[in-house]
Amino acid sequence: MNILPRISCSLLPVLLCTALLGGCKGKNESPLFLESNRKAGEAEAPVKDVPTDILSTQKAFSTVAKKVTPSVVNISTVSRRKVIQPLFEATPFFEDFFGAPQTRRDKSLGSGFLISPDGYIVTNDHVVRDAESIQVKLSNDKMYDAKVVGADRKSDIAIIKINASNLPTSVLGDSDKLEVGQWAIAIGNPFGLDRTMTVGVISATGRSNMGIETYENFIQTDASINPGNSGGPLLNVYGEVIGINTAIVSAGQGIGFAIPVNMAKPVISQLIQKGRVSRGYMGVTIQPVTDELAQSFGLKQAKGALVNNVIKGGPADKSGIRQGDVIIGLNGSEVKDPSHLQLLVADAGVGKLSKVSIFRDGKTFELGITLANADTAPTLQEKHGSQQQESGSGLLGLVVENAEQGGGVVVVDVERGGVAEEAGIKRGDVIASINRKRVATTAEYARAVQQAGQVGRLVMLVRRGDASIYFALRLK
């Protein structure tokens, strides 16, 4: 009698496979991979004693990411741009034959950060400029339509708003206390990759004359900033916003720029309160102080901003500032160069009395000036002509003749390789003064050059179009 239980034939392959799998790993066989005993595995970590400062730094970065990321938003915009027709658009009959110019819808991405629980967001002006629609995505993946509250092209800062409440907000820090070498953390939306965090250091501060914006005082960092990071926060290890990521150098890596948060704060306030920014206006045109000009004017260092023209009736004219003055300070802050003075004047406040430090004729003194609104600033317009009374000068390599209007002498020819050409003097320039003495005629010009030849150098004030420029020339 067969007492063995019957086993279904369909179960035999399963049992057979189970038996084979159970025998696959013998006692002496190694596992396919090693797992760390820090994860309940059987192997020890390759490095047992990690320095505590490294662990602390790592934890600090993770903490910043957890605390700040919820206040960082992704911004997507849709704008309509004109399609260029290079061959035919210049003709006045283009629209008659081809209709209205075609447009295309462009989509772009950027970043921003919340500064209030009710939905005010800071970003770059160039992120939302000319946008037909703006959408904001929060860290919880909720989407909101946004509108522009105010934008300032000169500083590249904009405020947008969404209709929401109880939102996480960023904390603004103090960018004036930054030092080169401190940690810098960027969070944003590069290439559409949500809330990417990169880490680097502060590479430099006070970067200006970059040709990016009108008002520049950038923080430079090597924390990776890529397209889509624009408008996002640059943070310190405390999670405080120290800058607004705004630009990169496309030709190289590790060179990104952020707007200092202290420069952004007054702009943010004005944009929220009135939708635009009002800046101070002094009423002068200025130029850098070169080493040659500093020596000619008697300055110990090539610092400050040289006044090459004073607009009649402006704040500077009323306060007593003159052409040829060197502005070396404003409200207790030392002026480094013209760009720095431009920033100081912009932030000084409209209608407020300011103290300007002047260097004139070897002496330093202060003047009071009440800055006007830059929106009401007049434009400087000067015209000149010439009369056919020529005078030559072998010392400078110039041929000049009397100007018709405004006084001075106009340059009609520049000797190639001469002192004037090397200094940058061009045909059409009007020489207004030499060594800070007015030159009204060719005769006065010739006498001034002859006297300067005995000293071996001169300072020349030149009008070029609507601008006035000082040149320092060394005579051969």
Residues with a catalytic annotation lie at 126, 156, 230
* Helix 261-274 and helix 338-348, axial crossing angle in degrees, nearest 10: 40
- Give the whole-angstrom CA distance, residue 286 versus residue 358: 13
* Amino acid, single-letter form, for residue 300: K
Give Rg (Cα) of the chain: 34
- Within 25-141, strands assigned E span 72-82, 103-114, 120-123, 131-137
Going 190 to 191 to 194 to 198, the CA torsion angle's sign is negative
Please give the structure tokens belonging to residue 461.
């004030």
Residues 6+ apart with CB under 8 A from 292: 457, 472, 474
Q: 451: helix, coil or strand?
A: helix
Task: Report residue 415 CA to chain centroid gap.
Answer: 40
Q: Please, are residues 80 and 103 in contact by the beta-carbon 8 Å criterion?
A: yes
Residues 6+ apart with CB under 8 A from 359: 297, 299, 304, 325, 326, 327, 328
Please give the structure tokens belonging to residue 424.
């940058």
Going 167 to 168 to 171 to 172, the CA torsion angle's sign is negative
* Pairing mode of beta strands 457-464, 437-438: unpaired
Going 24 to 30 to 36 to 40, the CA torsion angle's sign is positive
**How many beta carbons lie within 10 A of that of residue 206, not counting itself?**
15
Q: Please, are residues 370 and 353 in contact by the beta-carbon 8 Å criterion?
A: yes
Q: 267: helix, coil or strand?
A: helix
